[in-house]
Amino acid sequence: MKVWNAIFNLIAVVIIAIMIVIINNIDETNRRQFEEVRLSYAVDYATEAAFRACISTDSIGTDYSNEGLKEVELNPTMVLPTFYNVLALSYDLSPSDANFLRIEQSIATGFLAAVNGYYVLEPHEVDINPLDYEIGEEYRLLWGVKRPYIVYTRESNGEYDGRVFAINLVNEKSTEYIPEGLGVGDAEEPFITRDKYEGTNLNDDIVNMSISKLLTEDINYAIHARNAANIYGNINTFYVPSSDSMTAVNDVESPALALIFQDSTFLNGYNMDVISVGGARVKPKTQIIGFTLNGTKYYCYAGQQLGTKFVTGETKPQIGEGEKLFKSIKEAAEAGYSPHMMFLQEPFGKGY
Amino acid sequence: MTDFVNKVITLVLIFVMLVLAPLLISYMSTDMITERLVLNDVSQFIDKVTDKAHVSEHDLDTLYLAVNSHGQAYDVKVQRYQVLEEPKPTTATGENTTKLIYVSMDDIESLARGELVFNNNDEEVKDNPTLLGTTKTYIDLNPRDVIKVHVEEVSISSGKRLFWNLLRVDKGIFEFSLAGTVR
């Protein structure tokens, strides 16, 4: 009988040991999940800040449409310092050079895609002290040269037809490079720019696929080169995930910055990788317009007051000095404007 | 004699397995959910403020209330940083470089305490002269400014108290920061 007691007690001790392991595991998992989400927020905000720092103009030109994006100048110089500073603020690190160097060592690579080319962050061997004749073995990340979006076209039977193009993604012009003596045209100038792929074998699918492939290959090469010389490297391959399962491409529609961050141990104690993308797109914003009609203050969405679907025959409000623009209907109401029930039923305008 | 020891061990085992462990696991679950909700509230505040480029007393109050509404008491500090470029001394080779620095402006604390007052330099006073001398209830932010929120736990949750009292395990206070930039 005492033997059975002893056996049951032993089983109970084993169960307690299992419970201790489980409680520890739950604690660890909770902490890890929280840190994962926090890291992804922090790196997202830092990447947004870094992208904002590379647009050098505050307005994107007089043409506020996607065409206006071709006026945007991207300057990658301030991207990395801004990223380091904002990430250091998120994790309460002091903005010292040593901390920034450690953050830089955790960046695998990054790319900045503009409308007619892209930059990739590459590891370069730098000379720390230019005055002694020893070339240092320190690798720092520097932006490479801007590379164009190059497409090699094929014939319908699948073979390369020897023509190479550089593409601008927003105005869709292609520039063909004709090396001399190839007999394809005996061109005086080696570069011929065309509108919208005329006279070539190009189409949107080929262009998007080529660009996806180009970006993926360059990023993979940069990651391999980086992690070969980096003790914190743990990402092996990378692919641009497809936004469309049919064509397996993810196309570049507007300027974008992506940064790949690996091994966050020094930030939160866990070895996590994060990839974050920041970018800009132009969207028309509809504002609220407040006006006075027959002595009463009304508001409606901009453009609606010119609509004719529901309101016919009534005199349109004269746009004059008495009108104001608001950012939200709450602001308009707080300023004493009431909704104009008839105009609010008209379709939205895109500003006025 | 041995039988008595056995009974004591059995009681202790029952207490630990049936009472302590489930209680601890349940408290840890609650704590995890609370922490996650606090992170959500903070990131919502940062998104809202960086989108509007505008921090008002109402936004700050909403943040404090939201963070404290999940059952724990937290201390929330909001700070604003402005980005500046400082010239570095010319190097030996004659290069002129600059250094990017973020400087903390103390105006959000003053806003929360109601100490900011409209003065003659503000544009709103030019539009509406009756505002001169009244307290400001908002601050406009510049693009590339950074808003940083720091949250720190000031009360002890039941789970941590249990861990400490029974197991003498100190889990430490929960704190984190998050910084976002104005677009």
- Comparing A289 with B94, the larger pLDDT belongs to A289
Q: Is the per-residue pLDDT at A245 higher than 60? A: no
**What are the strands of the beta sheet with B146-153, ordered from one edge?**
B98-105, B74-87, B146-153, B175-181
Residue A186 pLDDT class (50, 70, 90 cuts) = low
Position A94 scores a pLDDT of: 92
How far lies A104's CA from each of A108, A219, A334, B88, in Å? 8, 17, 48, 21
Reported as a single tens digit per residue, the pLDDT across A165-174 is 888 877 777 8
- One DSSP character per residue, A18-83 reads HHHHHHHHHHHHHHHHHHHHHHHHHHHHHHHHHHHHHB--SS--S--SGGGGGG--B-GGGHHHHH
Q: Is the per-residue pLDDT at A273 higher than 80? A: yes
Reported as a single tens digit per residue, the pLDDT across B42-84 is 999 999 999 888 899 999 999 999 999 998 999 999 999 998 8
Task: Tell me the C-alpha distance between B82 and B183, whole Å.
Answer: 13
Position B43 scores a pLDDT of: 95
Reported as a single tens digit per residue, the pLDDT across A107-141 is 888 889 888 889 999 888 777 666 666 666 677 88
Interface size between A and B, measured as CB pairs under 8 A: 96
Task: Tell me the C-alpha distance between A59 and A71, whole Å.
Answer: 10
Position A174 scores a pLDDT of: 81
Using a CB–CB cutoff of 8 Å, tell me whether B161 touches chain A: no
Helices B21-52, B158-167: axis angle to 10 degrees equals: 140
Q: Which two tokens stand for residue A265?
A: 């141990």
Cβ count within 10 A of residue A59: 9
Reported as a single tens digit per residue, the pLDDT across A93-111 is 999 989 998 999 888 888 8
Angle, CA of B90, B95 and B100, to the nearest 5°: 75
Task: Determine, for residues B32 and A33 on separate chains, whether the beta-carbon distance falls below 8 Å.
Answer: yes
Using a CB–CB cutoff of 8 Å, tell me whether B91 touches chain A: no
- A48, B180 Cβ separation under 8 angstroms: yes
Position A323 scores a pLDDT of: 74
Q: Which of A78, A89, A128, A129 to mutate to test the interface with B (most CBs of B within 10 A)?
A: A89
Position A36 scores a pLDDT of: 93
CA A237 to chain centre: 19
Give the pairing type, strands A296-301 and A338-339: parallel
Q: Which two tokens stand for residue A338?
A: 């009431």
Q: Is the per-residue pLDDT at B1 higher than 70? A: no
Residue B176 pLDDT class (50, 70, 90 cuts) = very high
Q: Region B111-117: what's the mean pLDDT?
A: 84
Is B20 in a helix, a strand, or coil? helix
Q: What percent of chain A has pLDDT over 90?
A: 12
Q: Which residue has the tokens 């007052």?
A: B117
Q: Is the per-residue pLDDT at A286 higher than 80? A: no
Cβ under 8 Å to B: A residues 238-297 = none
Task: Determine, for residues A82 and B10 on separate chains, whether the beta-carbon distance falls below 8 Å.
Answer: no
ipTM: 0.89
Q: Which of A45, A92, A96, A321 to mutate to test the interface with B (most CBs of B within 10 A)?
A: A45
Using a CB–CB cutoff of 8 Å, tell me whether A37 touches chain B: yes
Residue A352 pLDDT class (50, 70, 90 cuts) = very low
Residue A351 pLDDT class (50, 70, 90 cuts) = very low
Q: Using CA atoms of B37, A260, A58, A142 in order, give the dihedral in degrees to the nearest 10.
A: 150
CA A199 to chain centre: 33
Using a CB–CB cutoff of 8 Å, tell me whether A174 touches chain B: no
Q: Region A83-95: what's the mean pLDDT?
A: 93
